[in-house]
Amino acid sequence: MKIKLNNCTINYTERGLPQGTPVVFVHGFPFDHTMWEPQMKALPNHFRAITYDVRGHGGSDVGDGQYTIEFFVDDLIALLDHLVIDKAIICGLSMGGYIALRAYERHPGRFKALVLCDTKSEADTNDAKIKRSATLKTVKTDGVGVFADEFVKAIFAPQTFQTRPEIIETIKRTIRANSPIGISGAALALATRTDTTGVLTKIQVPTLILVGEYDKLTPPSASEAMQRQIAGSEFHIIRQAGHMSNLENAAEFDKHLIDFLNRMM
């Protein structure tokens, strides 16, 4: 389904009972809502599961490619408003986690619970900003296809290339389907995002933190650092998974997620 929010057409999907507890999944960079398909299939119908494409990705508008994390937060809150959801459980992976943390900082009253997956609270370091610049150069010079081939090397665990090559190809196709303008705009938004570490001690909703055992981009140490600062938060390392823990070991990821969500009923 498509709706107009903040002068941008946003693509979203729903599954489950309309009166169920709402769970909104926010995808990572540079993917789209389909990365959450294993979770959408696994969640019991008593949840109202919602996925959407962050602006510049998937079926949502690309626009001029001039994005900030603040725009992404505005879109998330506008989506909740459109769907008449007062409070939701927000689950974000990587970029989705950055969006979720900033959304909590700005709108804590809209959260019933928080799920942070393969993400961190710190802003980009100088080295990370330089790598974002290299991303833009690759996309603009060599194209999205070359970028996709290189990017997957950093986000999957080494064994996944042997045991689950099909999910790697799926993610490559997802990246290639995105506009170079959208990818570049999202990379700039990530490079300029604020540091949300200060909000961690202020989080007052139940929080689940999940991270892949072999995540190189947002390693378990980053998740452990968040867990120490979020009172009462729950933390699990997903075995045999890299940065895409929800895909690489969906069974283990889903078990922890559904156990947590059922306690939020």
In this prediction, residues 10-35 reach a mean pLDDT of 97
Residue pair 79/5 in contact (Cβ under 8 Å)? The answer is: yes
Query: Is the predicted pLDDT of residue 265 greater than 90, yes or no?
Result: no
What is the structure's pLDDT at 61? 98
CA–CA separation, 159 and 257 (whole Å): 23
Which is nearest to 118 in space by CA: 26, 200, 43? 26
What is the structure's pLDDT at 92? 99
Q: Is the pTM of this model over 0.85?
A: yes
Which residue ranges make up each domain of the chain?
A: 2-263
Sign (positive or negative) of CA dihedral 160, 49, 60, 131: negative
Domain 2-263 architecture: 3-Layer(aba) Sandwich (3.40)
Average pLDDT, the chain: 98
> What's the pLDDT tens digit per position in 83-138?
999 999 999 999 999 999 999 999 999 999 999 999 999 999 999 999 999 999 99
What is the structure's pLDDT at 252? 98
What is the structure's pLDDT at 74? 98
Query: Is the predicted pLDDT of residue 71 greater than 90, yes or no?
Result: yes
What is the structure's pLDDT at 80? 98
Sign (positive or negative) of CA dihedral 140, 146, 152, 158: negative
CA angle 3, 178, 212 (to 5 degrees): 100
What is the structure's pLDDT at 99? 98
